[in-house]
């Protein structure tokens, strides 16, 4: 096995271990604090700092990695997640809202340090012209991450049922600590560290197309979360009378399926993607929330409409996300990879946060149909931004 492939597998395995705990801790917190009598709004606020600190971490994480190395930021993220898991093992009397929000803030920082480190690390392992292999490796890393996060949802619920809240957290912390120890021992030191000291002026990308791609990513992920995060589960529970278990199973299955499609993106697209690919995919994706909104407004069968819409959205959105994740790395020189990826995923986190907040407000004002029209509006903006990229980009050859 080559050194490059070995390091890729080590990074991917470390990221896998982290991702399972990331999905599990979210499900554990939601279900356990619901048992304690917290309202849905209280539970939502528990995750506020998780998203807010993710934005800050993405902005600063790339700069930090360029100074101390991607392997250090990866391991720092894993260690912080272990600490976040252990913070929640205190007695119920100490599980106050501020304490849990602090633990979730730590988990949010850990998640984005690990994600930025893993994805930028893949860029550093391959030469600048390794477009086809880079796309395959990024697709596998990203797709498997989302599939395993969905598995983490199932694992968190199962561990809560069979082991209890604190035992589940201790088991997750122990497993992640073991993965951290292996990664510390085997990954090369100094990976991703820039030979020149990177100043604060480099926190933001200097590349115009990276900036526009990041802006498109903001609206792309906002378009997903504006109907998926709050509007959809509330609609299923309140309007269709689905149980919490049934809603959770559907969302987990959607995330797993979405991750599998991302991992298969190179085979499904069958060509070297470029900005034109992203533009076409946004155009197709725009048809999904638009069609769902029109169908629900016309009184067509809501369950069938939602299931077909979810499957269609998962397919096209996963391909679009995979292409985006590839482009930000292909357009980044090795010495700029960490900074560009950090800046890019800051926009990603900002889109998620905006979509989440807007989802609750739009559903309260106009119901799920209103959320879907907001999604379509976000996709129009994402398509316009991606179109500006594709007009400026030369054609690329097939893989």
- The region of weakest confidence among 94-98, 257-261, 337-341, 372-376 is 337-341
Query: In this predicted model, what pLDDT tens digit does every residue of 176-200 receive, in sequence order?
Result: 999 999 888 887 776 655 554 555 4
The region, left, alpha or beta by phi > 0 then psi within -120 to 50, assigned to residue 243 is beta
Tell me, yes or no, whether 148 and 233 share the same domain.
no
**For residue 59, is it within any domain?**
yes
CA atoms of 28 and 154, how far apart (whole Å): 10
3-state helix, strand, coil in the chain (%, to 5): 85, 0, 15
Statement: residue 255 has pLDDT above 60: yes
Q: What is the pLDDT of residue 397?
A: 36
Highest mean pLDDT among 180-184, 235-239, 250-254, 294-298: 294-298
CB 256 within 8 A of CB 151: yes
Do 228 and 132 lie in one domain? The reply is no
- Report whether 341 contacts 217 (CB < 8 A): no
Task: Give the list of residues 6+ apart from residue 2 with CB closer than 8 angstroms, or none.
Answer: none
**Widest CA span of the chain, in angstroms?**
62
**pLDDT grade for 132, boundaries at 50, 70 and 90:** low
How many independent structural domains does the chain possess? 2
Residue 276 lies in a domain: yes
Q: Two tokens at 52?
A: 């807010």
Cα separation values, 182 from 82, 171, 267, Å: 15, 17, 32
45-54, 203-212, 281-290: least confidently modelled range:
203-212
Both 23 and 127 in one domain: the answer is yes
Residue 66, in any domain of the structure = yes
> d(Cα 216, Cα 8) in Å, to the nearest integer?
28
- Residue 161 shares a structural domain with residue 255: no
CA distances from 289 to 156, 311, 374 (A): 30, 12, 9
Q: Which of these three, 132, 156, 188, is where a domain ends?
A: 188
Q: Residues 248, 283: one domain?
A: yes
Which residue range forms the structural domain that includes residue 245? Answer: 207-390
Tell me: do 160 and 240 sit in the same domain. Answer: no
Q: What is the CATH number of the domain that holds 129?
A: 1.20.1250.20
- Per-residue confidence (pLDDT) for residue 399, from 0 to 100: 35
Those residues with Cβ within 8 angstroms of residue 110's Cβ, 6 or more apart along the chain or in another chain: 18, 76, 77, 78, 79, 80, 81, 84
What's the mean pLDDT in 167-174?
A: 94
Q: What pLDDT, in 10s, does the model give residues 271-326?
A: 778 889 999 999 999 999 999 999 999 999 999 999 999 999 999 999 999 899 88
Structure confidence at residue 2 (pLDDT): 66
Burial of 201 per CB tally in 10 Å (0-12, 13-18, 19+): exposed
Q: Is residue 78 part of a domain?
A: yes
- 308, part of any domain: yes
Any long-range contacts for 332-337 (C-beta under 8 Å, 24+ apart)?
A: 332/123, 332/207, 332/210, 333/128, 334/123, 334/124, 334/128, 335/66, 335/194, 336/205, 336/207, 337/120, 337/123, 337/124, 337/192
pLDDT for 205 equals: 53
> Within a domain: residue 302?
yes
Could you tell me if residue 86 is inside a domain? yes
Domain boundary at 126, 156, 188, which?
A: 188
Domain termination residue (choose one: 160, 188, 216): 188
What distances in angstroms separate CA 220 from CA 95, 131, 215, 226, one per listed residue?
35, 23, 9, 10
Q: Which two tokens stand for residue 87?
A: 């913070």
Structure tokens at 348: 């990603």
Quick one: pLDDT at residue 376?
A: 98
**147 and 257 belong to one structural domain:** no
Indicate the range of 120-129, 236-245, 330-339 predicted with least confidence. Answer: 120-129
pLDDT digits (tens, 9 = 90+) for 59-104: 777 667 667 777 788 889 999 999 999 999 998 888 888 898 899 8
215 and 306 in a common domain: yes
Which residue shows structure tokens 């606020």? 45
So what's the pLDDT on residue 394?
A: 44
């Amino acid at each position: 096995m080559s050194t490059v492939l070995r390091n890729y597998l080590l990074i991917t395995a470390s990221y896998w271990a982290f991702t399972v705990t990331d999905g599990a801790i979210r499900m554990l917190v939601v279900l356990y604090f619901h048992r304690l009598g917290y309202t849905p709004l209280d539970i939502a606020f528990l995750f506020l700092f998780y998203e807010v600190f993710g934005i800050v971490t993405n902005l600063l994480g790339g700069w930090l990695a360029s100074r101390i190395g991607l392997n250090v930021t990866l391991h720092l993220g894993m260690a912080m997640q272990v600490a976040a898991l252990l913070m929640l093992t205190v007695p119920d009397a100490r599980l106050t809202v501020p304490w849990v929000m602090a633990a979730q803030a730590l988990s949010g920082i850990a998640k984005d340090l690990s994600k930025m480190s893993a994805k930028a690390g893949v860029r550093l392992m391959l030469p600048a012209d390794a477009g086809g292999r880079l796309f395959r490796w990024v697709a596998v890393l990203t797709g498997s991450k989302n599939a395993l996060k969905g598995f983490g949802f199932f694992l968190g619920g199962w561990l809560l049922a069979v082991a209890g809240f604190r035992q589940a957290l201790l088991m997750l912390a122990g497993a992640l600590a073991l993965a951290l120890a292996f990664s510390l021992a085997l990954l090369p030191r100094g990976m991703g560290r820039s030979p020149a000291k990177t100043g604060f002026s480099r926190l933001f990308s200097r590349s115009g197309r990276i900036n526009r791609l990041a802006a498109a990513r903001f609206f792309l992920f906002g378009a997903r979360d504006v109907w998926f995060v709050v509007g959809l589960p509330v609609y299923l529970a309140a309007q269709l009378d689905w149980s919490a278990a049934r809603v959770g199973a559907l969302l987990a299955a959607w995330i797993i399926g979405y991750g599998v499609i991302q991992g298969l993106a190179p085979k499904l697209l069958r060509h070297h993607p470029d900005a034109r690919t992203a533009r076409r995919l946004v155009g197709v994706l725009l048809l999904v929330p638009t069609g769902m909104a029109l169908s629900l407004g016309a009184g067509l069968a809501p369950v069938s409409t939602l299931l077909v819409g979810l499957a269609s959205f998962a397919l096209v959105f996963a391909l679009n996300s995979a292409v985006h994740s590839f482009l930000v790395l292909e357009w980044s020189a090795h010495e700029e990879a960490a900074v560009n990826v950090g800046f890019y995923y800051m926009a990603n986190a900002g889109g998620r946060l905006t979509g989440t907040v807007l989802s609750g407000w739009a559903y309260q004002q106009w119901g799920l149909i209103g959320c879907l029209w907001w999604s379509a509006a976000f996709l129009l903006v994402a398509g316009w931004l991606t179109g500006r990229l594709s007009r400026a980009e030369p054609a690329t050859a097939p893989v």
